[in-house]
Structure 1
């Protein structure tokens, strides 16, 4: 009688049986397809506070009832970073579990805000574009418009467009003219590592940096306006770094993504990732992003989050890496949803202990006015 648990016997069995694979390949996506993601979750106080505490997002309006009331909330709401991460996490099983590079995300918006704990989240994604990678024929490029909805009312709570490289079942061949034989469009705007292409070297000696860097004196709207006005009078930029850093550990790398139903093996399967460039599991991009944003928010008087654009992830972050943040203030205007605040647009860059950028994006937020 065969002992199936004998190590040698079992090893032979594993060599012959089929593996039931997870995830979809590039060929499975067609423009116009709408995917209703089966997983869903309830946005809980525990999940919200776990995310915020581990990423150093300590805005009291999301923690204390009195601070929430001052901000016009009925109770401490779900933090936009947790909502964004949960919306994306639910999609991974259907969209990107096969792996591939996360090329970017833009037009992140929160049409129904605030969102409160106890809300059941349902997510759908529409394929808005598919293209062939000119640099990696074994991958295709897919963009989706994703909407996280209140399962009860159908109201859109979070929406964005993201783009990934997705493995193909078979590498793409061309007909010799540069045209793809499957009729998909070709994209040449990628480096071999999957990041955005950079401009060709035009012979310049180096980057043209401003003569001076200015930091705002405080975190109120007026402080950002004053710094921008000072920079306009000189060859200067309003740009500064934040002191706090957060070293990545098992909780941030594995626990937080799993809590959002993110099934990507990059975040929890050490065995598979041992042969990857990182050599081990890596941090969920939304953890890296939220950590850097938490550092930035600690130096401002945030009133409301408006949205995010042009988000990119430049290299992986692993256990033991430390995430820091840098901010450049782009513009400020007095109009906002409340007279209590003005609107400021920032560029945030997360970087590691070796001063390498790991994330960048443009953020628009309402910042409290000192006069109120």
Structure 2
């Protein structure tokens, strides 16, 4: 390499990556107050299949020990065919499905009322579909940066269309104005004298369909630009992700379970299973795209430890997009970087996926 040749960029170098994060837009999640109008009906996607495992995990973590929800003999004594889904888990599942579209942007949960469970008991295997109707919207007199939205939410058995859980809830929801931001971008950081220079421009796709990624790459073409952005969500590591999820895959490695032994290790603590870190970062990325099918992964690396209390975020570069002629999807190649609360890369890898095309 001569002195005049540009230096290649290692996007996972700590200093380089920190500078990239300062300039990258954040793909925001959730809706502002202005998105809701009285009478709107929102079909929440995805739904959820209620499982016995999920039911028991919820009950055990919340100390709900009613034997009718644990044992067949006790369930039958109460008139059930088998241990049913606990109403607390059913309510939590019905609300959880709605969060991304209704309240993920933040704001105060002002209350929930008229929680009802009409019809027969709900059993494991029920496919839960959820819809919400905007009942009312109002301005907050005490907090002008928020509005107040009330929704009527119904969870239905997908097979019978019977309502199995319904309620009305009210939240304060942030307004886009007067607290709108520029999406998290910032002025370009000063480039180091001897290090590789980042692209002059960071381009963010307008949406999550194949055409959006293709258009972003075309905007970046023939310019000193990269299609690169960060994802808003983060996931802080706790007992369930660090120890529980590995055990559910029969991963018994002491690195995830034995704090005594790991206290004298380089990490100083038990660490998150690498595939949990990877899957968390990919989950953040997929939430901003319309994934049709996974094709493959390459060049995966784990850069530093993730321990309890660390938060996993994600950053994405779009490298290529190819229209293969398929009606449903096109192929996109990404680089994904997981990073922690200190902006340190913890995982990186390239991924090829088929991304849905926009419906005609």
Relative to the length of structure 2, the TM-score reads 0.48
Question: Larger Rg: 1 or 2?
Answer: 2
